[in-house]
Amino acid sequence: MTTNETESGEKMELLNANLAKVEELSLRLAEVMGHHKPLRNELNAPEPEVFMTAATAYWQNMLNDPGKMIENQLDLWTKSVKGFVDAQNLILKGQFAAPQDDTPTDRRFSHPMWKTHPYFNLVKQQYMRNAEAIRKSVGELEGLSGKDKQRIEYFSSQIIDMMAPTNFLGTNPEVLEKAVATEGQSLVDGLENLIADLESNNGELLVKLADENAFEIGRNIATAPGKVVYRNRMFELLQFAPTTDTVHEIPLVVFPPWINKYYILDLKEQNSMIRWCVAQGYTVFVVSWINPDRSYSDVGMEDYITEGFLEAIAKVKSICDQPKVNAVGYCIAGTTLHLTLSLMKQHGDTSVNSATFFTTLTDFSDQGEFTPFLQDDFIDGIDEEVEEEGILRSFIMQRTFSFLRSNDLIYGPAIKSYMMGEAPPAFDLLYWNGDGSGLPGKMAHQYLRELCQSNKFVGDGVELCGKTLKISDVDVPICAVTCETDHIARWRDCFHGFQQTKSRSKTFIVSQSGHIAGIVNPPSKKKYGHFTNKKLKGTADEWMEGATFHEGSWWPRWDTWLSQKSGNQIPKRTPGTSDFPVLGDAPGTYVLEKATK
């Protein structure tokens, strides 16, 4: 027996052994799924009437204009048959090559074999033809309402993404190559990754995006020096240690969103906005919200306003012995800061000297990419979920956000982890993204029904805390920072709400990039620029047409704005006082609590 034959035999034995492991792991997988309690149907798909409406519209269009439908089908058939014939002709000529490929560039198909191998190229081309045919058919549907059309477009797009040949072992050359090169070990590792993810989420499939063992809160992320100086059932108040000899007189209190943890603003030293603000001479306080369990089911928006925002503002004023604070609200916390300012206006409370809003929506008249999830069938399902569970569990929100970018946040990572057996990357931002929080049941219901669906805050007002709160009550100096490619809080929608405040001093900024990267954009990186325009009347597009682009981060521009509203320089403040003794080191204890499954 030759050396090559021996090596070949050993490889075959290893491959067979790994395939046997796959069978063993399959039994473990079956056990995991046997204990899985599926989500209610309303949270997995729209009500059947949505698809019935689309089918009826398609049938009606066919009756009204059968020529167009037949023309579309013939076009697909012609391209499909031609692609097959071209591939066959090359093979008959003895050429192992792909036919001409005029399909658009798609990074999912970056592996060379998608272009060079006749089989994989044919599969790719046919998938892209089918996808285009579906999009065209949906795009030409008539007789549907705007929201129904958006929903059909969204769910058809999800089907298209799900059925990509890259998502299947037999039609992904990169996966097959690695399986052969590793004698099947990549498949074993991938199945182990899959089972581990299922086990950690009670049978729900949430692709782990980052290596959780690479990070530890307080050790290599969320490390800005500071102290916990106050705690109640809603939040811990963190005061960060000064790094300058003098500080601005008026303190800065930051309210992060409670859907995720505060340390998005303190990931690493190089991109920590908290550290940067401290270095500019601000006394920085940050609210670290509780990760609610089922006992918080009756906590509503009014509790976040009174026991959260108002309480934090009062405690910061007392600690610093100052009558005013400057406040920052990020995403949903920015929305709630607006509600708080409306309530304070009606109470004659002038504690907030200025307010800054990061990626904040207040006008929900255009629900954008969230339209499919903000209709009654889905919200009814969420109401039933929170009625049963007491909270809106974190993984439900995480899954929803992921499907808005399914190729980047679901299928791409799943291919790497489950089909190629690769460990997730050590990426701090993705680690933070997976460290979610739940929402109290009452609060989730109010936010979705009163604000997102009914859009009351910019209309007749929303009833909270015994008052009718309206955006027109907001009249403190404000600065809004939005992000150009943000798909969660689109900058144009943020602009519409921003315009409806009654503040006489307004600044609006559009940063390049998205919901996170556009905000966490330190000057040292010199990565993303930003747009400004002092003319705030007219449409958002008119604002952008007249805007000036500036290279680099918006942080220094905001610092110039904020410093003018922060009073004189005074000696630096050490965290805590005799009335507010230090309760522990930052990042505190609330940030360590994991979301309820």
Write out the catalytic residue numbers. Answer: 331
Please name which of 75, 126, 66, 76 lies closest in space to residue 99, comparing C-alpha atoms: 126
Residue type, 199: E
Backbone angles phi, psi at 427, to 5 degrees: -125, 115
Reported as type and span, the H/E element at residue 335 is: helix 332-347
Cis peptide before 112 (omega within 30 of 0): no
Helix (H, G, I), strand (E, B) or coil at 516: coil
In contact, 425 and 211? CB cutoff 8 Å: yes
Q: Please, which residues have CB within 8 angstroms of residue 151's CB and are 6 or more apart in sequence?
A: 46, 50, 371, 372, 375
How many CB atoms neighbour CB 456 within 10 A? 18
In contact, 97 and 116? CB cutoff 8 Å: yes
Backbone angles phi, psi at 464, to 5 degrees: -150, 145
User: Can you read off the two tokens belonging to residue 158?
Assistant: 């999800």
Q: On the CB side of 16, how many CA atoms lie within 13 Å of its CA? A: 6
Residue-wise over 206-229: b if at least 16 C-beta within 10 A, else e?
bbbbbeeeebebeeebbbbebbbb
Measured at the alpha carbon of residue 295, what is the angle toward residues 289 and 299, in degrees to the nearest 5? 60
In contact, 309 and 258? CB cutoff 8 Å: no
User: Can you read off the two tokens belonging to residue 247?
Assistant: 């500080």
Whole-number Cα distances in Å, 336 to 42, 373, 402, 458: 28, 21, 24, 13
Length of the chain: 597
Helix (H, G, I), strand (E, B) or coil at 579: coil
